[in-house]
Amino acid sequence: MRKILFNTFWFVPLVVFGCFDGSFAGKNETVFIQEEVSTKLDKKSLVILNKYGNTIRYYSEKYGVDWRLVAAVITVESRFDHSAESHKGAKGFMQVMPATQDEIAEKFGLEREAFDDPHGNIRAGVYYLSQIYKQFGDDGLSEENRIKFTLASYNAGPGRIIDARKMAAYVNDDPKEWKSVKNSLPLLSKKYASLHRFVWEERKPSNGYFKGWKETANYVENVMGYYGEYRKVLDKNV
């Protein structure tokens, strides 16, 4: 299958959101995204991806994340609907939580409102994803497991995954394998409180009981599915 590229556009710090003509460019041709990805995204999502593709690509390169993974995260998080808001208050394309926005705004010396527009929301989400990814960089993980741990942490919070890895080790599963950690996520629920006292001194998971494990497991599977498709049809290089 032919791969396609975003139109090359070089950014400078004060001109982050340059013009984008809505197409992808190969070496000798321009190919609209609709040609090969139309079965994966609805019409609205295609329009949005075309419109904000350069922003996704820019911050992904800046923070060291595969932009195709970011596109997959946005697909699952919001279906490219910037007006999306969860019942917990997560907002925008990448469903960034208010507390996360506050942390990032403080780090960059910005007002929290700076991340409320689509471009800012993408920046905040990509930066947060990159920081989680870095956390798993010195842990001897395979790249696939590192990505899956990153996605699970983006969905449930890094603390939940740390707890699940500790539980996996306790039950003699491999804490470096996502499959083992995924199987340990249900064991963080209150149902298994009698087991927790053998794992944690405080007699329960360090980050509290966790009952949303199905959502997290499905989230990782769904994002990886889109990521796999995007890797087939979209070129990583810019």
Spot the catalytic one: 29, 35, 61, 77.
77
Tokens standing for 20?
A: 């984008």
CA 168 vs. chain centroid, Å, equals 23
Question: Cβ(220)–Cβ(152) under 8 Å?
Answer: yes
Compute the half-sphere exposure of residue 211: CA atoms within 13 Å on the CB side of its CA: 3
Question: Cβ(1)–Cβ(233) under 8 Å?
Answer: yes
Euclidean distance between CA atoms 184 and 61, whole angstroms: 33
**What's the chain's Rg over C-alpha atoms?**
19
Q: Catalytic annotation on 77?
A: yes
Euclidean distance between CA atoms 22 and 102, whole angstroms: 32
Euclidean distance between CA atoms 128 and 96, whole angstroms: 9
Residues 6+ apart with CB under 8 A from 217: 182, 185
Q: Which residues are catalytic?
A: 77
